[in-house]
């Protein structure tokens, strides 16, 4: 009997993109169910009653919540292809450290870049670039954070990479001029088949950002 794999998701979510990419890296067939985040489905509320957020991976009726938790679950369950987590315990610990950094130091300024203006936006740009430069130093001269292999930290960042162009348009700045090495890795990640099939067009994301800015009165 085949596994039933359902992903409760939202098309523009950088967190949902993580789960989509991991599933496609593993060649897992899944059904993607789009959620209306302003009118969440009974299934989402049932499967993630604590946070009530996407993405939720539902594997044979059992939910796995939080994006990187889902990615690690996917790697462990479908372990026969394209390992995502490093095999070395120390490297796994380091990867989890950088994922926490991404979800704290990158997320907050990234959110403010498209949703604010003026001094708040300028501060957000500064904090965002500062965080990216720290990540760039960690990347070093490696093609991926996982070394020669596209791995856990790369998947965590790729959802943000997809938003880089809309961020630049919303705030009139250049990420590549500040972080050329990181951008080279970002472009490499964005060309992967699993990623191409998992992320929206940047123009669609920018249009969404403009729509939300208008709704928020920005």
Let me know if residue 211 belongs to a domain. yes
Q: What is the pLDDT of residue 216?
A: 85
CA 29 to chain centre: 20
Residue-range definition of the domain harbouring residue 191: 89-216
Q: What is the mean pLDDT of residues 58-72?
A: 98
Tell which of 46, 77, 108 closes a domain.
Answer: 77
Residues 30 and 105 in one domain: no
Q: What is the mean pLDDT of the chain?
A: 96
pLDDT tens digits along 175-190: 999 999 999 999 999 9
Domain count, the chain: 2
Question: Residue 66 sits in a domain of what CATH number?
Answer: 3.40.30.10
99 & 198 share domain:
yes
Prediction pTM value: 0.95
Instruction: Say if 83 falls within a structural domain.
Output: no
Note whether 195 and 110 are same-domain residues.
yes
Domain with residue 211: its CATH number is 1.20.1050.10
Please list, in sequence order, all residues whose beta carbon lies within 8 angstroms of the beta carbon of residue 190, skipping any fewer than 6 positions away: 158, 161, 162, 196, 199
pLDDT in tens, 129-150: 999 999 999 999 999 998 999 9
Report pLDDT for 133.
98
pLDDT digits (tens, 9 = 90+) for 89-130: 999 999 999 999 999 999 999 999 999 999 999 999 999 999
In a domain, 94, yes or no: yes
Residue with tokens 């889902």: 70
Is residue 43 domain-shared with residue 95, that is, in the same domain?
no
CA distance 35 to 93: 32
Examine the domain organization and report whether 25 and 103 are in the same domain. no
Q: Among residues 21, 43, 77, which one ends one of the domains?
A: 77
In a domain, 212, yes or no: yes
Write out pLDDT tens, residues 21-62. 999 999 999 999 999 999 999 999 999 999 999 999 999 999
Structure-block tokens of residue 123? 């501060």
Calculate the alpha carbon distances from 95 to 14, 99, 102 in Å: 18, 6, 11
103 & 44 share domain? no
Residues 66 and 93 in one domain: no
Are residues 64 and 103 part of one domain? no
Integer Cα distance of 29 and 107 in angstroms: 29
The verdict on 97 and 193 lying in the same domain is yes
**Higher pLDDT among residues 168 and 218, named by residue:** 168
Instruction: Report which of 171, 79, 72 is spatially closest to residue 118, judged by C-alpha positions.
Output: 171
Asked whether residue 84 is assigned to any structural domain, the reply reads no
Residues 151 and 195 in one domain: yes
> What pLDDT, on the 0 to 100 scale, is given for residue 80?
84
- Given a cut of 70, is residue 1 above it in pLDDT? no
Last residue of a domain, one of 42, 57, 77: 77
Domain co-membership, 70 together with 95: no
Q: How does pLDDT run across 153-169, given as a tens digit for each residue? A: 999 999 999 999 999 99
110 shares its domain with 153? yes
């Amino acid at each position: 009997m085949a596994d039933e794999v359902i992903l409760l998701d939202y098309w523009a979510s950088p967190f949902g993109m993580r789960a989509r990419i991991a599933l496609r890296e593993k060649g897992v067939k899944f059904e993607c169910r789009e959620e209306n985040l302003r009118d969440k489905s009974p299934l989402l509320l049932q499967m993630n009653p604590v946070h009530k957020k996407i993405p939720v991976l539902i594997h044979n009726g059992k939910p796995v919540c939080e994006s990187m938790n889902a990615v690690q679950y996917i790697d462990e369950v479908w372990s026969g292809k394209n390992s995502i987590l490093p095999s070395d315990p120390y490297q796994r610990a380091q990867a989890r450290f950088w994922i926490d950094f991404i979800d704290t130091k990158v997320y907050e300024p990234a959110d403010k870049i498209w949703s604010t203006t003026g001094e708040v936006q300028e501060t957000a740009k500064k904090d965002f670039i500062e965080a990216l430069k720290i990540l760039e130093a960690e990347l070093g001269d490696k093609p991926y954070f996982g070394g020669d292999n596209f791995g856990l930290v790369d998947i965590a960042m790729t959802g943000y990479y997809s938003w880089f162009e809309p961020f630049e348009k919303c705030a009139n700045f250049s990420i590549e001029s500040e972080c050329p090495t990181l951008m080279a890795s970002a472009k490499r990640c964005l060309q992967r088949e699993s990623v191409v099939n998992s992320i929206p067009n940047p123009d669609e994301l920018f249009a969404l950002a403009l729509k939300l800015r208008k709704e928020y009165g920005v």
